[in-house]
Amino acid sequence: MAASDLLPDGSTGTLTGPAESISANSELNVGESWIYTISYTVTQTDMDAGTELTNTVSVVTTRFPGPTLASALTPLSASASLTVDKVRSDGTDPVTAAREIIDYTITVQNTGGLTITGVAASDLLPDGSAGSLTGPTESISANSELNVGESWTYTISYTVTQTDMDAGTELTNTVSVVSDQVPGPTLASALTPLSASASLTVDKVRSNGTDPVTAEGEIIDYTITVQNTGGLTITGVAASDLLPDGSAGTLSAPAESISANGELNVGESWIYTISYTVTQTDVDAGTELTNTVSVVSDQVPGPTLASALTPLSASASLTVDKVQTNGPDPVTATGDIIDYTITVQNTGGLTITGVAASDLLPDGSAGTLSAPAESISANSELNVGESWIYTISYTVTQTDMDAGTELTNSVSVISDQVPGPTVASALTPLSASASLTVDKSGQTERTR
């Protein structure tokens, strides 16, 4: 008698035995049983096939040429499953600036009992674009099948954009995996928080003009620099300027250092310019000139301020001149009239107020000056560069003539800024001599 065994995988098995129940005579006696045994190790191919396992034995004898067959059926119960895990494997956490690089690692693992084929992984980057995965690296065998218990590892990187930073929401990178056995998709995401703030600096400098300022009409040029020193794009930037005289200045359009897009990009500087013409009021005030810029924006409401200070250096000074403009020179007789002109001039850098002029006539009496003729404006202020003209006359007396000394007419000027007094005199010589005549006449009387 001969027994042969066909294993479930189609190969011929090797039977153990037989164990003869009556006598070990190699004959199957009447009523006797022969017992054979055999084992089979289930393969992954069996599992993947998904059909019950069939083991068939075939027996032939000289009396029953047969063969006589018997089979044992073993059902299979296995399912396909996989897990997907995605982690940030490198890069800052949280992200603080654009252009930082985040590295991700994706692990797809076969956690079921069946080989998984047709595995396809796709990646959605934080900006919504499709990423290009690198890999996979297969942990068991590079056969493009995800074997039971095997892991496939993919990698991908993402460069953070300024748009990501400005959005301010955490970055989400999602992988999607499909396969023939687990159609899915099976998803996994990695989340990376963002941490960035908006900040700006404002700087204002005097870029041209005298320092210190000494006179009205001088022009001061200013340069204002607004710089984005934070991690977010700044929009809605508005700069306003307060000039030294308290009026609102008109700034130039900003020169944008990176791109002329109306947005203050990270690291970008905007340059404004403005000029101011110094007034006499500024100079007279005597305090340093302050020009202040104020900047507001959507992200940094502020305002953020910066000022440029320019000192002033001006002094008050005046000159007084007195001349004889009419009349004899020298004076020769009582009753001669001498006309004088007095000129008071502002020779400094400040407006002079409270000007008061007094005149001492040659006879020692106080003269009455005419009202001043103001050369620039009749505002009772001695403006810078202005002259005031006074006139006065004097009638020569006999006392003057008898004294015989030159006639001195002095003017004295005081003011709020130049208390003085500042004095000027006009001298007129005298030319007269003493002379007399004697006339004597006589008459002789005749006697008779």
Give the span between the Cα atoms of 270 and 369, in whole angstroms. Answer: 62
Give residue-wise pLDDT tens across range 422-446. Answer: 999 999 999 876 667 778 776 655 5
Sign, CA torsion 146/149/155/156: positive
Q: Is the confidence at residue 335, as pLDDT, over 50?
A: yes
Question: Which of the pair, 201 or 66, is modelled with greater confidence?
Answer: 201
Give residue-wise pLDDT tens across range 105-140. Answer: 999 999 999 999 999 999 999 999 999 999 999 999
**pTM of the predicted model as reported, rounded to 2 decimal places:** 0.76
Give residue-wise pLDDT tens across range 79-107. Answer: 999 999 999 999 999 999 999 999 999 99
Q: Is the confidence at residue 351, as pLDDT, over 80?
A: yes
Give the span between the Cα atoms of 153 and 295, in whole angstroms. Answer: 51
Q: Is the confidence at residue 184, as pLDDT, over 90?
A: no
pLDDT in the model for residue 442: 67
Q: Is the confidence at residue 303, as pLDDT, over 80?
A: yes
Give the span between the Cα atoms of 86 and 101, in whole angstroms. Answer: 16
Q: Is the confidence at residue 448, as pLDDT, over 50?
A: no
DSSP β-bridge partners for residue 182: none
Split at pLDDT 50, 70, 90, the class of 190 is very high
CATH for 82-192 is 2.60.40.740
Q: Is the confidence at residue 447, as pLDDT, over 70?
A: no
- Which part of the chain has CATH 2.60.40.740? 82-192, 200-310, 318-428
- The mean pLDDT of 266-288, rounded to a whole number, is 97
Residue 89 C-alpha from the chain's centroid: 33
Give the span between the Cα atoms of 445 and 136, in whole angstroms. Answer: 173
Fold of 200-310: Immunoglobulin-like (2.60.40)
Give residue-wise pLDDT tens across range 134-182. Answer: 999 999 999 999 999 999 999 999 999 999 999 999 999 999 999 999 9
pLDDT in the model for residue 444: 54
Q: Is the confidence at residue 10, as pLDDT, over 80?
A: yes
- Percent of the chain residues topping a pLDDT of 70: 98
- The mean pLDDT of 237-256, rounded to a whole number, is 98
Sole residue written with tokens 């005749």: 446
CATH class of 318-428: mainly beta
**Strand order across the 366-367 sheet:** 366-367, 356-360, 407-414, 422-428
